[in-house]
Structure formats: structure tokens, C-alpha cells
A and B are shown apart, each in its own frame.
Chain A
Amino acid sequence: MGEFGTPEQLIQAAKKTREAGYRHVDAYAPFPVEGLSEALRLHRSWVPFITLLGGLAGGLGGFGLQYWAAAITYPQNIGGRPLNSWPAFIPVTFELTILGASLSAVLGMLALNRLPQPHHPVFNVPRFTHASTDRFFICIQARDRKFHLADTARFLQGLDAHHVSEVSDD
């Protein structure tokens, strides 16, 4: 794992790491760095799709619930007015669409990030506490086919990393 001082260095390093053929790479930053996802060639996030599904489920479920309650299981004849008075069902349908979409956006984001995750090997590196303040890191995982402890460390040093440290699993 290599440590960098600025977001620009991080992006340069991320690009070069990918160009060098490393695939199992992650970068760490104290705030979202513009262009980092592209530099690491991350695929598009699944969060919007999950949110769409959640919103559809909330909306259809919400309208279905009202239709079922007002027209099927508990019909009330009020002066012969229609049982399926759909305009009056719109506010609740709308609110439940938003609720379903928001819940699935947040839970989907957490699930895709595999959070909550109480421990991760990167926390074993003492300097990693700075990753949430002002330091930027690139981590090349040992499961990468190109990974070789000494060569990879040299490669990271070649990218002008301030520090290069080994992340151990225990």
C-alpha cells in the first residue's frame, strides 16, 4: 500500500497502476476525489438501478395496498362514489415511492460497499488513520495475478509514494 499527499498524485498513481496491469486495486481518500473512479476504471454503480427497483416496489405496493383496502377488502359506499378513487390515492403512493427508493438507495449503497464490516486488513497499517484526514492511499491486493511483494513495493515507490507499507491480514 502506497501513501500519497494530494488528490492529483493519487489519480496519477491510480492511472499508472491500472496501466501497469494491476487489476485488484483500491484507492483510499478522505473525500470523494473527482476522476478517481475513472482512473481506477470502476464499472458503473448499481445503486441507481437498485433505487429504481425500490421506488417501483414502493409505488406499486403503495397503490396496490390502497386499492386492495379501499376497493376489495373494506369497500365503503359513500353516496355511490367510485371505490377506486385513484386521484385520492396519489399522495400516499407518491410518499411510498420516495420511501422505497430512499431506503433501497441507502441499504443498496451499504450492501454494495459490504458495510457494516467491523474489520478490514487495511486498518492494520498504523498510518492508515490518516486516510480519513489528509492522506491518500493506493492498495494493491495480494490476490492480484501480477502481485509480488518486493516488485509491487518497488513499483509503488516508483510512483512517488511517501510511504509504502505492507498490509497483513492478521
Chain B
Amino acid sequence: MSAGQPPLDSPEIRRLTPVLAPGYTYASVTDKISAIVLTRPTSLGWFVGFGIAFSLMGMMTIAIGWLITKGVGIWGINIPIGWGFAIVNFVWWIGIGHAGTLISAILFLLNQKWRTSINRFAEAMTLFAVACAGIFPLIHTGRPWMAFYMFPYPSTMGLWPQFRSPLIWDVFAVSTYGTVSLLFWFVGLIPDLATLRDRANTKAKQIIYGMLAMGWRGSAHHWHNYQSAYLLLAGLATPLVLSVHTVVSLDFATAIVPGWHTTIFPPYFVAGAIYSGFAMVLTIAIPLRKAYGLEDFITMRHLDNMAKVMLATGLIVAYGYFFEFFMSLYSGNKFDVFLVQQRLHGPYAPFYYALILCNILTPQLLWFYKMRHNVVVLFLMSIVVNIGMWLERFVIVVISLTRDFVPSAWGRYSPTFWDWATFIGTIGMFVTLIFLFVRVLPAISIAEMRELVAETSEEEK
């Protein structure tokens, strides 16, 4: 921070960068947000972006089709590295989803007004990320058509899933998370769908939005039950989101593999998840507000706050790395000490150093006010953190598995073309879904923005 700037919490700064630019009324926020969906012509840029993303998604479909035809042998996985890209990508995507729930549920419970204009698309991001994540364990089973074996159902063979296995915990955690995120998102959308229904300019839009709004009238009785349900959902989603990444970390921590078998994993995975999720929210928010002129709604205050959350969770992650390192040495366990040596000097050491650079060193720039208020820096930083968090999962999965207890069981891992095609393909799918979402649904909650207008106008009085 340079000398001339006022301290960050001063009323002056708050006035300079409010959560909503002044001068908006109920009607004008409604017009501005609904126009993106209803009246604004689809731009050429949208088609280009959508086309690229959709092609990548097509590549994913081909890669999965080929996988189902040939089996998991087309990937780089082997014995001993049975997990490879599929699990790295699964954990990465699931982690990204967590920021959406954090913004929509935890910040709601904490009554943080700045969540209002970012929660809708952050929740959408959660849903799409969970959809991408879900693909990986499914196709990693090798026979995805048998995946229903993991659900408890009365089979003629009398078989039941092994409920003591973290794999089954994962099935329940991820499917519950997907379902609850969808419910939360949809409940938030209902009043906005009613707005779109009432403002629709064609019969088809009126019918489709009307069906989705289910006859919402905004009656006091409706809002009365609605607010109660929304608050409860937020309260339920909060422990859920913490449990999901805890369960994911238990996939690792319940194993005896060096580098996995540690009690620090659950909190450190949850912090990492929120870290990468906020990075992804920034990666989406910055182009979105630019493309649709939403700078008045997603203000610098939002970007600044998200950068601060990223910095804080990044420091928790750094603490996790440090103690992982320290405990390995302090334990004196020779396999744990060997793992540390492998991270620092082994064949995959460059990935470890890249991880430290991306996740710990670079984000320290966020301490500076000027960096947090430079949109380009923030955007690049969010990409760096996304890469860093992907590297973290790569380091955890690959370094531990390549060299465990007995040298005769050691191996090497390198991804194949099909690994990359599937991974990049899911990014294409994610971006495709985001593109469709901003085009057909309000990317910012209109009803909550109106509430914000009411609250800010009260404050001014």
C-alpha cells in the first residue's frame, strides 16, 4: 500500500468501492440483469467462445468413447500408479466447486452483503465443477456401466456395498453435494425465473420460464416459507461442503501410503478447495463483468474481498505444506523422510517446486492493495493458483505412489494423449456450461439485488 492511500477499512474506501454502484432502483437492476438473457443479442464473441469450448467438450466425448471401447489401458496409469490423472482431476474439480457453496451458504449465514452479486454464478460454477468431477471416478472404475454396484440396492446376488470404504463414502458425499447444490441453486432461481416469465418478450420464453418458475407469485406467504427454507439450506450446506472435501481427503488419509497417511489432510484439503474455488470464481467473474458490463454489480470491492479470501486460504494451505513437511521429518519414520527427499530431489521434484511457486510464493503479491485492485493481475493470479492447486494433487497422487516402501515395487508415471484429452475436454465442458448458463439464466440473483437496493437505500437515509 502506498503512503497516500487511506487504510482499507476506513469509511472512505467503503464509499469508494461499494458492493453496488449508487443510483440503482428495483426496476433498473431488474432491467439490467434480465436484459442479458432476454433482449441482448448474442454476440459474436459468445459464439466463438462457445464454439471453442464445445469443440473441446467434443474431444472429451471422443476420449471417453475410446476409453469405454479399449479400457483404462489407454491412460498412463499402471501398477503401482493406479490413480493418475483421473483422481488428480477429480480432486481438482471437486475442490473448485467448494467456493460456490462457501459464497452462497457460509457468507449468507455470516450476513456478508458482498456475496449477493456473485453467489448465483458461483453456485452454477459449483454444479458444473461437480459434474466434471463426477465423470472421473466413474470412468476410472474401468467398467462405468457397472458403477451402480456402488449404490445400495437389493440385488439378486444379495451383495451390499462395503460401507467402511472411503470409496463408498465418496459416492454418498459427492452425490449428496451435487443434489444439495442443485436444490440450493434452483431455490435461489425461482423468484428470478418468475421475473423472466413476467418480462419475457416471446411466447416460448414465457412458457419455458413460466414452467420453471412453477407459478411463483412473490406472495408474502411464499416468501415467508421461502426464506425459512433458504436459511435452512444454507445451514445444511455449510457442514456439507466441509464434509465433502474431508471425505475426499480420507480417500488418501485412510491409506498407509507415505505422504497420504496424515491427520492434517482434512483441514488442509478443505482450505485448498476453497483456495482453488475462489481462484476459479475470479477466473470467471473478471471476464463476465467485462463482457456484460456488470462492473456496477461486481465491483472492485468484490474482487478485493475474493482476493483477500484467496490470500487467507492460501496461507492456510502453506501452513499445511509446512506441517506436512515438518511432521514427516519429526516423525523420524524412514518412509516419510524418504518421501520428503523424493519431493525435493526425486524425478518429479520440478512439479513440487512449481507448486510452491504457484500456491505459496506468487499469491503473496495479494498483500498489496495495488495488486488486488489490478484486474489483469488478479486474473493472471487466479490462473496461476488454479494451476498450482492442480499440481498439488498431482504431487500428492504421483510422488507418493511412484516410490513407496519397496524399491522393487517402484514405478514411473506419465500421462498419455488420452489423459490430456479427457482433462482438457472437461475444461471445455465446464466452459460450455458456463457459456450456456450466462445466456439463458440470470447470472446475478435479481431478487437479492433488489433486496440489496432496499437495504442500501435504507442505509443512506
Q: How far is the CB of A5 from chain B (nearest CB, A)?
A: 10
Any chain A CB within 8 A of the CB of B217? yes
Pairwise interchain contact A36-B223, C-beta atoms closer than 8 A? yes
Any chain A CB within 8 A of the CB of B169? yes
Pairwise interchain contact A99-B215, C-beta atoms closer than 8 A? no
CB-defined contacts of B184 to chain A, threshold 8 Å: 102
Instruction: Give the contacting residue for B195; candidates A37, A94, A133; CB below 8 A.
Output: A133
**Distance between Cα atoms of A5 and B140 in the complex (Å):** 58
Q: How far is the CB of B111 from chain A (nearest CB, A)?
A: 13
CB-defined contacts of B232 to chain A, threshold 8 Å: 47-48, 51, 101, 105
Nearest residue, chain B, Cβ from A10: B220
Instruction: Give the contacting residue for A69; candidates B163, B191, B219; CB below 8 A.
Output: B163
Q: How far is the CB of A64 from chain B (nearest CB, A)?
A: 11
**Distance between Cα atoms of A121 and B183 in the complex (Å):** 28
Pairwise interchain contact B220-A109, C-beta atoms closer than 8 A? no
In the complex, besides A33-B220, A37-B224, A106-B187, 8 extra interface pairs with C-beta distance below 8 angstroms are A27-B220, A70-B163, A94-B243, A102-B183, A109-B225, A122-B217, A134-B27, A134-B450
- Interface residues as binary, B17-45 with A (CB distance below 8 Å gives 1, 0 otherwise): 00000000111001000000000000000
The total of interchain contacts (Cβ-Cβ below 8 angstroms) comes to 184
Pairwise interchain contact B229-A105, C-beta atoms closer than 8 A? yes
Q: How far is the CB of B319 from chain A (nearest CB, A)?
A: 25
Pairwise interchain contact A98-B180, C-beta atoms closer than 8 A? yes
Q: How far is the CB of B393 from chain A (nearest CB, A)?
A: 21
Any chain A CB within 8 A of the CB of B233? yes
Instruction: Give the contacting residue for B179; candidates A88, A99, A116, A120; CB below 8 A.
Output: A99
Pairwise interchain contact B164-A120, C-beta atoms closer than 8 A? no
Closest 6 pairs (CB-CB, A-B): A134-B26, A116-B214, A109-B229, A69-B160, A117-B215, A88-B164
Pairwise interchain contact A102-B233, C-beta atoms closer than 8 A? yes
Nearest residue, chain B, Cβ from A29: B218
Pairwise interchain contact A113-B199, C-beta atoms closer than 8 A? no
In the complex where A74-B159, A99-B179 touch, is A109 in contact with B228 (Cβ < 8 A)?
yes
Q: How far is the CB of A162 from chain B (nearest CB, A)?
A: 14
Instruction: Give the contacting residue for B225; candidates A94, A102, A113; CB below 8 A.
Output: A113
Q: How far is the CB of A74 from chain B (nearest CB, A)?
A: 4
Any chain B CB within 8 A of the CB of A21? no
CB-defined contacts of B6 to chain A, threshold 8 Å: none
Any chain B CB within 8 A of the CB of A59? no
**Distance between Cα atoms of A23 and B280 in the complex (Å):** 50
Q: How far is the CB of A104 from chain B (nearest CB, A)?
A: 9
Q: How far is the CB of A15 from chain B (nearest CB, A)?
A: 12
Instruction: Give the contacting residue for A91; candidates B26, B214, B216, B247; CB below 8 A.
Output: B247
Any chain A CB within 8 A of the CB of B88? no
- Give chain B's interface residues, CB within 8 Å of chain A: 25-27, 30, 152, 158-164, 168-169, 172-173, 176, 179-180, 183-184, 186-187, 191, 194-195, 197-199, 214-229, 232-233, 236-237, 239-240, 243, 247, 250, 447-448, 450-451, 454
20 contacts between A and B (CB under 8 A): A29-B220, A30-B450, A31-B191, A31-B451, A40-B220, A42-B221, A47-B228, A47-B229, A70-B162, A89-B163, A89-B164, A91-B173, A91-B247, A92-B168, A102-B183, A103-B183, A110-B214, A113-B221, A116-B215, A132-B198
Task: Please give the number of chain A residues whose Cβ is less than 8 angstroms from any Cβ of chain B in the complex.
Answer: 61
Q: How far is the CB of A117 from chain B (nearest CB, A)?
A: 4
In the complex where A30-B195, A92-B172, A133-B30 touch, is A66 in contact with B236 (Cβ < 8 A)?
no
Pairwise interchain contact A109-B195, C-beta atoms closer than 8 A? no
Q: How far is the CB of B246 from chain A (nearest CB, A)?
A: 8
CB-defined contacts of B219 to chain A, threshold 8 Å: 26-28, 113
Interface centre among A14, A42, A133 (most CB of B within 10 A): A133
Interface centre among A28, A88, A106, A131 (most CB of B within 10 A): A106
Q: How far is the CB of B237 from chain A (nearest CB, A)?
A: 8
Pairwise interchain contact B183-A92, C-beta atoms closer than 8 A? no
Q: How far is the CB of B166 from chain A (nearest CB, A)?
A: 8
CB-defined contacts of A31 to chain B, threshold 8 Å: 26, 191, 218, 223, 447-448, 450-451, 454
87-142 of chain A: CB within 8 A of chain B = 88-89, 91-92, 94-96, 98-99, 101-103, 105-106, 108-110, 112-113, 115-120, 122-123, 129-134
Interface centre among A31, A51, A96, A132 (most CB of B within 10 A): A132
Any chain B CB within 8 A of the CB of A168? no
Q: How far is the CB of B223 from chain A (nearest CB, A)?
A: 4
CB-defined contacts of B179 to chain A, threshold 8 Å: 99, 102-103
Pairwise interchain contact B222-A113, C-beta atoms closer than 8 A? yes
